[in-house]
Amino acid sequence: MSEIAEKIVVPDTAVTANENDTTTQKDGNCVSWIQSSLKTLIFIAIIIASISSRLFAVIRFESIIHEFDPWFNYRATQYLVNNSFKDFLNWFDERTWYPLGRVTGGTLYPGLMTTSAFIWHALRKIGLPVDIRNICVLFAPAFSAITAYVTYKLTCELKDEKAGLLAAAFIGIVPGYISRSVAGSYDNEAIAITLLMATFMFWIKGLKQGSILNSSFAALCYFYMVSAWGGYVFITNLIPFHVFCLILMGRYTSKIYVAYNTWFVIGTIASMQIPFVGFLPIKSNDHMAALGVFCLLQIVALGDFIKAKISEKKFKVIMWVSIILIMIGGIAGLFLLTYLGLIAPWTGRFYSLWDTNYARIHIPIIASVSEHQPITWPAFFLDTHFLIWLFPAAVFLMFMDLKNEHVFIIVYSVLCSYFAGVMVRLMLTLTPVICIAGAVALSKLFDIYLDFSPIFSTKKTGTTKSSVMTVLTRALVSASFIYYLYLFVHHCTWVTQSAYSSPSVVLPSQNRDGSMAIIDDYREAYYWLRMNTDYDAKIASWWDYGYQIGGMADRTTLVDNNTWNNTHIAIVGKAMASPEEVSYELLKEHDVDYVLVIFGGVLGFGGDDINKFLWMIRIAEGIWPEEVKERDFFVNQGEFRVDSQASQTMKKSLMYKMSYHGFPDLFPNGQGQDRVRQQVVTAADVEDLDYFDEVFSSENWLVRIYKLKDLDIEGRDLSDFAEFEKSKNTKRSSNKRPEIDLRV
């Protein structure tokens, strides 16, 4: 990656070259030609850097879709490519959320799938039939290149092209953005950040010029954004808030009126075209701010018209009276409408933004997702490196200029810093503004300290000593910052390759001798399901694996990552947390054929179902507080244990039995060493499974699949039957033994 490092440092030196060129201004024509060709060169370098640093995953592993949500997007894209667009919008998916099904076409953001299907068709038209999987895998890196360009344009509006180039280079390789846009991470965010930047870019342009056209483009980008990501609400609130701030600062001009109203009117009606959004823009309170500012602007425009005609003193009286009356009317109207149920109450996700504990108390399903947790301090540094401490300085510098567009960046950074502190995933929206602000600050610094022109003008003015000192300090400061830039590139490359380039479907590990080994248990298990089970078999698993089972095994699932129905998820949670006989009844009621659990005890894989078990219990407890109690799963000291001290409820629960079924037998003397929880599980702890048969355990026991036994022909209870069988024949079937000490 060192070559990329060099390429990234190129902008700074090139920028200074540009700057020195402009100061001389001898033959302008030649210089401008050199400038533009240098700029093109820098851009090509940035694009190569931003794409290639996202390809670690493909090179290390293979061209594969990552994680969980991308598998659904991939499946939906396949559906779109194989069917018409109309079928796609009307898609009712009966193979998820069994037996409810999901109105998939009406509950997804189609922007991502439509774009990749469009690319697929376009490439076929020009004679390049590319596999849809490869398009999906390489989608995010390609769009990151566009993001770099759009960010450049946006930063140009804020300062100048030098800052723009820096911002483009930053956004191209910053880990905070790479985290969601490596090759294979085929998620909504991959396209959404590009559109976010594009919307803001056109918005700033429209605001600066008062141009209807640019604002219309902003609205179209906004529409595209709405079609791609639920995070569009951020734009819906940020732009009105910006305008509101400008009005409060007394900066109202006709340009603001033109830009905002054009954006709002076209953007709102366009966003309603997305089936999933529907009438939300006029009903949900999340969108009310935009509507409110729209009305406010009309009044302010009228006031502006009147203000020009009458004396200032009289206008003040009129203004205050009108403002008070309008505020009273507006608030009363809002309350009345909410009270009458005409507009939706504030949604839970909205509350969880303000009160970090809201989700934990009221909606365990939201809190259980790791990306909804508050961010930790090191994560800021990990994701943005030295930009994070340039960021406050940059916001301060914005205050020094404080034009309308600077107000925008200030508002954006303040809001987003807060929200990123509440939810990890919103770090993604904070990262672009950190890059932009950092680039502006750095280029301001370089403007001063990278300017070595005093060397050439010393003879005319001042003593040589002071000029030497000036040059020395300048050289020192710029050298240290260029070194920081080098470190930044180094850090970005390192973080990208170590933290963000794992597909999490395939796990990397090391053999004893240090060579790389790939743990491919997930795919092994899903492939087993695909090959060995009936096409209509229903698989129960925790919701995390729903999309993967749907995408890779092509089997019907009970719950998946869409999490639209809390009760249905609680059913699975209850089944996992209950004793065998209760779970069996429950699962039979839901027609389940197989149960799949993820068990990391053999491998030492921390993200397994036992570690997620508490969330299952909590979610189930939310629906059936009488039958599932979180307290019962802890030992007396309030600990969550799995060894011989574990509580009886824990040991009896289906999840425990399934995870540790046959586990102690793997080890000498039946002393099963759980590598995740560092506890010993003995054969005496693990009771037999009477209602389920183990049908498959993957190579490292990461995925274990159990089949529900059929009802007994003679109508006996299955546990009685098992007792009977055991007394008849004491021989136990031997489990296959994975080589457990193979990997470190």
Among the residue ranges 136-144, 259-267, 508-516, 710-718, the one whose residues contact other proteins (CB under 8 A): 259-267
Asked if 517 interacts with other proteins (CB under 8 A), we say: no
Smallest separation, CB 312 to other proteins (Å): 12
The answer to the question of residue 337 lying near other proteins (CB under 8 A) is no
Helix residue ranges per DSSP H, 210-287:
212-228, 232-248, 254-271, 280-283
Q: Which stretch binds other proteins (CB under 8 A): 25-33, 262-270, 516-524, 702-710?
A: 262-270
Stretch that binds other proteins, among 92-100, 300-308, 508-516, 717-725 (CB under 8 A): 300-308
323 touches other proteins (CB under 8 A): no
Tokens of 586: 């429950």
Residue 279 makes CB contacts below 8 A (sequence gap 6+) with 272
Q: Check residue 270 for interaction with other proteins (CB under 8 A).
A: yes
CB atoms near residue 305 (< 10 Å): 9
Please give the single-letter amino acid code of residue 369.
V
- Would you state the structure tokens that stand for residue 219, as one six-digit string? 């609205």
- Total interface residues for other proteins by CB under 8 A: 38
Choice from 130, 321, 342, 476 touching other proteins (CB under 8 A): 321
Nearest Cα neighbor of 559 from 596, 527, 533 is: 596
Cα distances from 209 to residues 68, 81, 206, 255, in angstroms, run 43, 41, 5, 7
Question: Closer to other proteins at the Cβ: 38 or 270?
Answer: 270
Q: 687-714 burial string, b = 16+ CB within 10 Å, else e?
A: eebbbbeeebbbbbbbbbbbbbeeeeee
Nearer to other proteins by C-beta: 342 or 475? 342
| Residue 662 Rama label (left phi>0; alpha psi -120 to 50; beta) | left
Residue 90 binds other proteins (CB under 8 A): no
Is 301 a binder of other proteins (CB under 8 A)? yes
Q: Calculate the alpha carbon distances from 516 to 52, 492, 501 in Å.
A: 22, 23, 15
Q: Which is nearer to other proteins, 237 or 322 (CB)?
A: 322
CB 199, min distance to other proteins, A: 15
Indicate the residue among 132 and 318 with the shorter CB distance to other proteins. 318
Taking the complex as a whole, how short is the minimal distance between the CB of residue 123 and other proteins, in angstroms? 28
What is the number of alpha carbons within 13 Å of residue 623 lying toward its C-beta? 17
Tokens 């710029």 belong to which residue? 478
Q: How far apart are CA 688 and CA 652, in angstroms?
A: 10
C-beta closer to other proteins: residue 317 or 684:
317
Q: Site for other proteins (CB under 8 A): which residue of 315, 346, 381, 624?
A: 315
268 contacts other proteins (rule: CB under 8 A):
yes
Q: Considering the complex, state which of residue 305 and residue 377 has its C-beta at the smaller distance from other proteins.
A: 305
Task: Rank residues 208 and 651 by Cβ distance to other proteins and give the closer one.
Answer: 208
Q: How far is the CB of 272 from other proteins (least distance, A)?
A: 6
Only segment of 128-136, 255-263, 633-641, 729-737 that touches other proteins (CB under 8 A): 255-263
Contact present, 649 and 632 (Cβ < 8 Å): yes
Judged by CB under 8 A, does residue 325 bind other proteins? yes
Q: Which stretch binds other proteins (CB under 8 A): 15-23, 95-103, 254-262, 440-448?
A: 254-262
**Among 53-61, 91-99, 224-232, 267-275, which window interacts with other proteins (CB under 8 A)?**
267-275
Residues within window 174-233 making contact with other proteins, judged by CB under 8 A: 209-213, 215-216, 219-220
The residue (of 248 and 317) whose beta carbon lies closer to other proteins is: 317
Supply the minimum distance, in Å, between the C-beta of residue 309 and other proteins: 5
Closer Cβ to other proteins, 330 or 607, answer by number: 330
Phi, psi of 581 (to 5 degrees): -65, -35
State both tokens at 3.
Answer: 């070559």
Q: Write phi, then psi, for 300 (nearest 5 degrees).
A: -65, -40
Tokens 């409408």: give the residue. Answer: 337
- C-alpha 491/C-alpha 482 separation (Å) is 14
Q: What pairs with residue 517 in β-bridges?
A: 509
| Residue nearer to other proteins on the CB measure, 291 or 482 | 291
Spatial neighbors of 734 by CB under 8 A, at least 6 apart, are 665
377 contributes a contact to other proteins by CB under 8 A: no
- How many angstroms separate the CA atoms of 42 and 50, rounded? 12
> Judged by CB under 8 A, which of 100, 318, 334, 683 binds other proteins?
318
Smaller CB separation from other proteins, 284 or 443: 284
- Please identify which residue in 86, 305, 377, 626 interacts with other proteins, judged by CB under 8 A: 305
Contact yes or no for 105/88 (Cβ under 8 A) = yes
d(CA 130, CA 182): 19
Q: How far is the CB of 308 from other proteins (least distance, A)?
A: 8
Does 269 contact other proteins by CB under 8 A?
yes
CA pair distance 599, 601, nearest whole angstrom:
6
| Binding status of residue 728 toward other proteins by CB under 8 A | no
- Nearest distance in Å: CB 77, other proteins: 24
The only residue of 26, 86, 125, 309 in contact with other proteins, by rule CB under 8 A: 309
Query: Quick check: 306 binds other proteins (CB under 8 A)?
Result: yes
**Euclidean distance between the first and final Cα of the chain, in Å?**
28
Instruction: Return the residue of 261, 404, 583, 697 that touches other proteins, per CB under 8 A.
Output: 261
* Residue 272 in contact with other proteins, rule: CB under 8 A: yes
Residue 549 gets which letter from DSSP?
I
Q: Which of 266, 549, 642, 681 binds other proteins (CB under 8 A)?
A: 266
Cβ contacts of 506 within 8 Å, gap of 6 or more: 61, 62, 64, 518, 519, 520, 522, 523
Residue closest to 60 by CA, chosen among 510, 525, 516, 702 = 516
Q: Which of 22, 83, 107, 273 binds other proteins (CB under 8 A)?
A: 273
Asked whether the beta carbons of 178 and 188 are under 8 A apart, the reply is no
Report the nearest approach of other proteins to the CB of residue 102 (Å): 23
Going from the C-alpha of 116 to that of each of 69, 143, 206, the distances in angstroms are 16, 11, 29
Is position 314 an interface residue for other proteins (rule: CB under 8 A)?
yes
Is residue 251 part of the contact set for other proteins (CB under 8 A)? no
Q: Is 714 helix (H, G, I), strand (E, B) or coil?
A: coil
Nearest distance in Å: CB 289, other proteins? 18
Cα–Cα dist 83/77, whole Å = 10
**Residue 128 burial (C-beta neighbours within 10 Å; 0-12, 13-18, 19+):** exposed
> Least distance (Å) from other proteins to the CB of residue 301?
7
The DSSP symbol for 596 reads: E
* Residues sharing a CB contact under 8 Å with residue 135, sequence separation 6 or more, in sequence order: 116, 119, 120, 123
255 near other proteins (CB under 8 A): yes
Contact pick of 279, 339, 377, 535 for other proteins (by CB under 8 A): 279
Q: How far is the CB of 283 from other proteins (least distance, A)?
A: 10
Q: Which amino acid is at 207?
A: L
Q: How far is the CB of 18 from other proteins (least distance, A)?
A: 25
Contact string 474-513 vs other proteins (x = CB under 8 A): ----------------------------------------
> Restricting to residues 691-720, which ones interact with other proteins according to CB under 8 A?
none
Residue 531, interface with other proteins (CB under 8 A)?
Answer: no
Show Cβ contacts of residue 213 under 8 Å, excluding neighbours closer than 6 positions. 206
In the complex, the smallest distance separating the C-beta of residue 111 from other proteins, rounded to whole angstroms, is 16
Query: Within a 10 A sphere around the Cβ of 35, how many other Cβ atoms?
Result: 17
Give residues in contact with other proteins (CB under 8 A): 209-213, 215-216, 219-220, 254-255, 257-258, 261-262, 265-266, 268-270, 272-273, 279, 282, 298, 301-302, 305-306, 309-310, 314-315, 317-318, 321-322, 325
